[in-house]
Amino acid sequence: MIHVDRLVKHYADLRRGRFVALGGISFHARPGQIYGLLGPNGAGKTTALRILSTVLRPTAGTATINGYDVLTQPSKVRHQIGFMSANTAVYDRMTGWEMVEYFGRLHGIAAEQLAERMEHLFDRLKMNDIRDLLGAKMSTGMKQKVSIARAIVHDPPVLIFDEATAGLDVLVARALLNTVAELRDHGKCIIFSTHIMREAEKLCDRVAIVHRGHMLAEGTLEELRSRHHERDLEELFFQLISQHDGAHPPEEEAP
């Protein structure tokens, strides 16, 4: 479903010169699977997911989603995905209902079908109380719900969550994780990036540990544990990162 092959991304950066955000990462994710991208801040997770959502273009390498290439068929790719990140906010001057409807219609869903699906979605996500509330007046949890509804209104086969729980309180975060798990059970292919180990442990079927643009380890949680002889994911994570930093000392700390 998602094939990422030696994806490279460079940025021009004043301080660090040509900054390698992604140094050639590769992975595959299947339907009905949550694929976790684990890494500290600045690891390149957001860059990778922005490339998958066609917002950024890769410097080298390829990525296909449901058979469509992100570089050459970006609009086809965008129909296949629902993208949600800390950076995809909701409009201040739009109500919850208008916002979801707007994106549904951009996906070309017929009016009747859209209304039906939205009723269902609003029920399922318990959003009926924020139907007519303007985005500016919503709490973070409400906004998060609208964002989820917006991302899945067109029923995409692939969902991308980039640090989606960042800044949420425990209750809202937990509700979000439950929704993600439900979506997986509906057969969606999900990529979930986070730097919180507990979320990964709870949710992900496979994980890739990413650090400074490189993939340090990849596999199911069990595979990783047995390969590195460490039961605790957080310890394992820390170990891998220390090893990598020891072998390739960073010239300068990322800001």
Between residues 94 and 175, which has the closer beta carbon with respect to other proteins?
94
Between residues 72 and 220, which has the closer beta carbon with respect to other proteins?
72
Q: Report whether 210 contacts 38 (CB < 8 A).
A: yes
Q: How far is the CB of 108 from other proteins (least distance, A)?
A: 7
Q: How far is the CB of 240 from other proteins (least distance, A)?
A: 28
Identify which of 120, 114, 141 has the alpha carbon closest to the alpha carbon of residue 130.
141
Between residues 162 and 199, which has the closer beta carbon with respect to other proteins?
162
d(CA 68, CA 78): 10
Neighbour count for residue 134 (Cβ, 10 Å)? 16
d(CA 5, CA 51): 12
Q: Which residues bind other proteins (CB under 8 A)?
A: 12-15, 17-18, 50, 53-57, 69, 71-73, 75, 78-79, 81, 83, 85, 87-94, 102-103, 105-108, 134, 147, 150
Q: How far is the CB of 104 from other proteins (least distance, A)?
A: 10
Between residues 87 and 226, which has the closer beta carbon with respect to other proteins?
87
Q: How far is the CB of 238 from other proteins (least distance, A)?
A: 28
Torsion angle in degrees (nearest 10) through CA of 133, 137, 143, 146: 10
Between residues 19 and 238, which has the closer beta carbon with respect to other proteins?
19
DSSP-assigned states of every residue in 201-231: HHH-SEEEEEETTEEEEEEEHHHHHHHHT-S
Q: How far is the CB of 109 from other proteins (least distance, A)?
A: 11
